[in-house]
């Protein structure tokens, strides 16, 4: 009798010890994020509160939406692919979205219904994107079990193919002024398309909610396909749900700021480090907070300390590239 009581007491104690630290860290992250936002809102206002506050508030919302979309989708994607190197961006999903965007203009260019309403166009693009990338993912991940390095490689080359095709299609549409359409090669965080902000917010919240409801399944999927099935998960259904949420989130972030290859990789791996716990109820919020904080904080520092506006994504690529190489090199043999 006494033995079992001790066992249970011990169980409770360890339960508390393992549970509290991530929660505490999450709280600290939340505070840091709020501080960053307040800092961004109030720095260098020069008394123009009426103009600056609403203007910056919109920017904060836009960057928060993008930060959440990229980081949450990356964590979920890494869970269903069972590794911490691949991201939707590295798999070429954002490049695919850019291609679909161009193709929609290419095929429905003259169609008034679509060109009149950007929200409608956005909806069509997300729908096509979901179908295409689900199919791509299904063939690559579920039908054939390729090795991780091959998958990363395939993803990168698919990304290159999609980018080349986008470039090609853009030149086929209107070669004389393709330069206007062509992306400069890096995403821009301070010129977010605000006409889509409303739709984007709804989509990001809805997808995040879907993932939040799938928390136990996500924890299980991280154990690997066979263990997840053995523990009674409906594998295909769970993966499909998580994947679709991921794709919608990727579409939203790409529509708002363009492709960002390494931001998700960076934020997701930082989140794993910071919370030090595998449970998605901690990693998902931590990644979201870190994403928001990194974007807004980075933008604040660059804009107000160094007087640089559009270089955040370039810096992210630089740090992210190094992080990727470190992650690949440190990966233990399987």
**Which residues in 229-268 contact other proteins (CB under 8 A)?**
229-235, 261-262
The footprint of other proteins on this chain (CB under 8 A) covers a number of residues equal to 74
**Strand, helix or coil at 160?**
helix
* Per-residue binding letters, 202-221, with other proteins (x by CB under 8 A): -------------xx--xx-
Contacts of other proteins in 38-97 (CB under 8 A):
82-84
CB of 159 to other proteins, least distance (A): 9
Tokens of 170: 């853009």
Of the candidates 63, 134, 69, 68, the residue with the CA atom closest to the CA atom of residue 96: 134
Of the ranges 9-17, 50-58, 66-74, 187-195, which one interacts with other proteins (CB under 8 A)?
Answer: 9-17
* CA atoms in the 13 A half-sphere facing the CB of 299: 24
Q: Using the minimum distance from each CB to other proteins, give the nearer residue, 116 or 329.
A: 329
Alpha carbon distance 43, 36 (integer Å): 11
CB of 194 to other proteins, least distance (A): 23
CB of 112 to other proteins, least distance (A): 25
Contacts of other proteins in 159-198 (CB under 8 A):
160-161, 163-165, 167-168, 171-172, 175-176, 184-186
Tokens of 112: 């008034």
**Binding of residue 317 to other proteins (CB under 8 A):** yes
Of the candidates 274, 271, 293, the residue with the CA atom closest to the CA atom of residue 72: 271
* CA atoms in the 13 A half-sphere facing the CB of 65: 30
**Binding of residue 286 to other proteins (CB under 8 A):** no
**Binding of residue 34 to other proteins (CB under 8 A):** no
Say what the alpha-carbon torsion angle 197, 202, 207, 212 is, to the nearest 10 degrees: 120
Q: Using the minimum distance from each CB to other proteins, give the nearer residue, 213 or 304.
A: 213
Of the candidates 188, 300, 313, the residue with the CA atom closest to the CA atom of residue 261: 313
How far does Cα 198 stand from its chain's mean position?
18
CA angle 32–187–240, rounded 5-degree value: 80
Contacts of other proteins in 140-159 (CB under 8 A):
144-147, 149-150, 152-154, 156-158
- The helix (run of H) or strand (run of E) holding residue 149 is helix 148-173
CB of 9 to other proteins, least distance (A): 11
- Strands (DSSP E) along 9-51, which ranges? none
**Binding of residue 11 to other proteins (CB under 8 A):** yes
CB of 181 to other proteins, least distance (A): 13
**Binding of residue 307 to other proteins (CB under 8 A):** no
């Amino acid at each position: 009798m006494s033995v079992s009581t001790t066992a249970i007491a011990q169980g409770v104690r360890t339960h508390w010890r393992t549970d509290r630290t991530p929660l505490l860290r999450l709280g600290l992250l939340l505070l840091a994020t709020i501080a960053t936002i307040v800092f961004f809102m109030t720095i260098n206002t020069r008394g123009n509160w009426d103009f600056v506050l609403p203007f910056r508030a919109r920017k904060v919302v836009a960057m928060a939406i993008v930060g959440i979309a990229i980081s949450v989708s990356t964590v979920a994607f890494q869970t269903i692919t069972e590794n911490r190197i691949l991201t939707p961006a590295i798999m070429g999903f954002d490049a695919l979205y850019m291609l679909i965007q161009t193709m929609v203009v290419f095929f429905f260019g003259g169609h008034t219904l679509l060109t009149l309403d950007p929200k409608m166009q956005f909806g069509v693009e997300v729908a096509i994107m979901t179908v295409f990338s689900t199919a791509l993912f299904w063939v690559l991940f579920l039908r054939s079990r390729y090795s991780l390095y091959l998958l990363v490689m395939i993803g990168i080359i698919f990304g290159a193919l999609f980018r080349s095709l986008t470039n090609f299609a853009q030149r086929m549409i209107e070669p004389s002024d393709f330069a206007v359409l062509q992306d400069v090669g890096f995403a821009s965080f301070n010129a977010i398309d605000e006409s889509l902000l409303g739709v984007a917010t709804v989509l990001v919240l809805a997808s995040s909610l879907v993932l939040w409801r799938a928390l136990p399944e996500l924890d299980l999927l991280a154990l690997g396909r066979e263990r997840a099935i053995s523990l009674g998960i409906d594998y295909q259904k769970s993966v499909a749900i998580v994947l679709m949420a991921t794709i919608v989130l990727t579409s939203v972030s790409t529509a708002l700021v363009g492709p960002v290859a390494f931001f998700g990789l960076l934020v997701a791996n930082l989140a794993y480090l910071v919370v030090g716990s595998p449970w998605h109820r901690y990693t998902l919020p931590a990644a979201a907070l870190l994403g928001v904080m990194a974007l807004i904080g980075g933008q604040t520092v660059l804009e107000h300390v160094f007087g640089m506006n559009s270089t955040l994504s370039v810096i992210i690529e630089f740090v992210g590239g190094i992080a990727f190489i470190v992650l690949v090199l440190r990966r233990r043999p399987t």
